[in-house]
Amino acid sequence: MNYSSSVLALLFLFLTLSVKAQETHFTRSSIKVGVGLGGNDGETETGLGVVYLIGYQKNFGQNEKLRVSPNLLHGEFSSAGINDVRDQFYRTTSLGINAAYDLVRYKSVSLLINTGVFINYSRGLFGNGGEISNNSSAYFKTLYVGGNIGAGFRISPPASRFTYEIKPVNIGLGNKGFVLGYAMLGLDFKLTK
C-alpha cells in the first residue's frame, strides 16, 4: 500500500468514528472524499490505476436534492496488465466542479446523477530502460479540458454526520482523446453549525 492509500484509509477511519452530542445541527455543507479504480487513455498515455477525490460540497433546495462540489481528483496509473502499450507510469490531477442531483429518493437512499467540467494535468514516464524493443525512457506532460458524467447511489441518514456514495459509473471525456472511467466509493462529512 503506498503513502496516498494509507493516508486515505486513515482519513476514512477517522471520519467514520461517530461522536454523539446532545443536539447536532448540520449545515448544508460537507467535505467529500473518495477512492476508486479505473482506466485512463490520453493523447499518448494509457493505464489502469487508483483515483482519489477530495472536495467541498454545498447542498441546495428545500429537500437538498441538488449539490454543487468543487473538487480535486488525483490518479496514479501504470500500464501493468496492458500488453499492447509501452511501459508507462504516470499521474493525473484534475481540478473540477460537479453538480449532482437525486433523481429518485426513498427515505435516506437515492439514485443520483452528476455532471461537471474539469481541467486535467497528466505527467509521467514512458519506458523504464528495460524494455526489449526500446532501451530509452521519456517523460511527458499533457493538459486536457473536458466534461464528465456519473451515476450511482447515495445513502444519507438525516441524523448521521456521514453520507455514503457508491458510484459505479464515472466517465470523463476531454480534448486530445482524453478518457477517464472509474468506479468510486465516497464519503461526505457533514459540517456542523
pLDDT in tens, 114-163: 999 999 999 998 876 555 555 577 889 999 999 999 999 999 888 888 99
Q: Are 37 and 50 in contact (CB under 8 A)?
A: yes
pLDDT in tens, 16-57: 555 554 556 778 899 999 999 999 999 889 999 999 999 999
Q: Are 180 and 40 in contact (CB under 8 A)?
A: yes
Q: What share of the chain is helix, strand, coil (3-state, %, to 5)?
A: 10, 65, 25
